[in-house]
Amino acid sequence: MTRTDQRTPDQDLPYNVFAKACPSRGTLEHVTGRWGALTLGALYEGSLRFNELRRRVDGVSEKMLSQTLHALERDGLVHREAQPTNPPRVDYELTPLGREVAGRLLSLIRFVEGSMDDVLAARERYDETRATA
Amino acid sequence: MTRTDQRTPDQDLPYNVFAKACPSRGTLEHVTGRWGALTLGALYEGSLRFNELRRRVDGVSEKMLSQTLHALERDGLVHREAQPTNPPRVDYELTPLGREVAGRLLSLIRFVEGSMDDVLAARERYDETRATA
DNA sequence: CGGGATCCGGCTTGATACTG
DNA sequence: CAGTATCAAGCCGGATCCCG
C-alpha cells in the first residue's frame, strides 16, 4: 500500500483501471471482451438487428450475443429499440458514448489487423528459436 | 451504403477480425484480454521487471503474468531482456509495434476511465427501470 | 528474483430446447 | 424474429511447490 510508486499515470484520476477494485476494469472488459469488442465494432457502421449482428459477428452464439448486448446496454454504450410488431423487430445502435468507445476500439482493431503480417512473422521467429525442431 | 451485403468494412482487407478463423482475432484477444491490456498499458511508460509489473498490474498472479508476457512476446509486441546475473534480472519492454498497439489501447482505456461516471449512472438507470422493487 | 509444473475448483461458454 | 432456460464440458485462473 505504499504510495512510493510514482510511475502510475492515473494515480490522480478518479478511476484507475490498474487498481483491482476499480469499476472501470469491469467496463473495460465488457468493451474489450471477445464478443464485446466485435459487437461494438459491428455496430459502428450503423444499427443492426439481433440476427444481423449474429451473422456479422461470426461465431457468436445467441446466448453470448444476448449477454454481451445486455452488458453493453447496461453500461450505456448500446441502445436497444424494440418495436412491438409481429414478428418482433429489435434494433441495436451505439449511444454517443458507445460511438466514442467504439471509434477508439476500431482504431486498435484496424491497427492489429494491419499488423498481422508482422505478428505472424514474429511468431514464426519465436517458435523457431525455441523449438529445437 | 445501407446495402446489407456491403456493410462489412474489412471484406477487402487481408485480415478481418470479424471472421471466425482470422488469426487477428487471437492477437486482438491477447492485446485486449484482461491481463494483456493492463500489461501493455503498464509497459507503455517504460520497461519494467517481472515483479515490478506484477505489483503494477494489481491482482495478476505469477502464472497469468508469465503466460500473458509469453503471448505478447510471441506476437512481437513485447521484448524480453534477460541478464544472466545473480540474482537474475529480466526487463520487459514494448517493441515499436507494441508501442503503437499500446498507444491505441491506452487511448481507449483512458476514455473508459474518464467515462465511468456516465457508465455508472447508466447502470443505475438500467437497474432501476427493471428492478423488482 | 524470475519463473516452470501441477492440481483442481468454478465460472464461462456452447449446444439444445423452448417461448412469445 | 428475438430471445430465455437448462445443463454439461472445458478452459481460465489461482494456489502451491519447485527450481536456477
**Residue range B39-76, pLDDT digits in tens:** 999 999 999 999 999 999 999 999 999 999 999 999 99
Place of cell 494483456: B36
**Is the sign of the CA dihedral A51, A52, A54, A55 positive or negative?**
positive
Q: Supply angle C-alpha B118, B122, B127, rounded to 5.
A: 150
What was the pLDDT predicted at B132? 66
Q: Return the number of other C-beta atoms located less than 10 Å from residue A83's C-beta.
A: 9
| Mean pLDDT on B64-89 | 95
**Can you give the pTM of this predicted structure?**
0.90
Model pLDDT, residue B11:
52
pLDDT at position A3: 42
Beta-carbon separation of A41 and B17 below 8 A:
yes
As given in the structure block, the three cell numbers for residue B93 are 519492454
Query: In this predicted structure, what is the pLDDT of residue A11?
Result: 52
Any strand C atom closer than 7 Å to A66 CB: no
Sites in chain A below the pLDDT cut of 50: 1-8, 10
User: Per-residue confidence at B23, pLDDT binned at 50, 70, 90?
Assistant: very high
Q: How many helices (H) and strands (E) does chain B have?
A: 6, 3
Q: Which of A58, A29, A23, A22 shows the shortest CA–CA distance to A42? A: A58
A130 touching B, CB under 8 A?
no
Chain A interface, best mutation among B112, B124, B127, by max A CB count within 10 A: B112
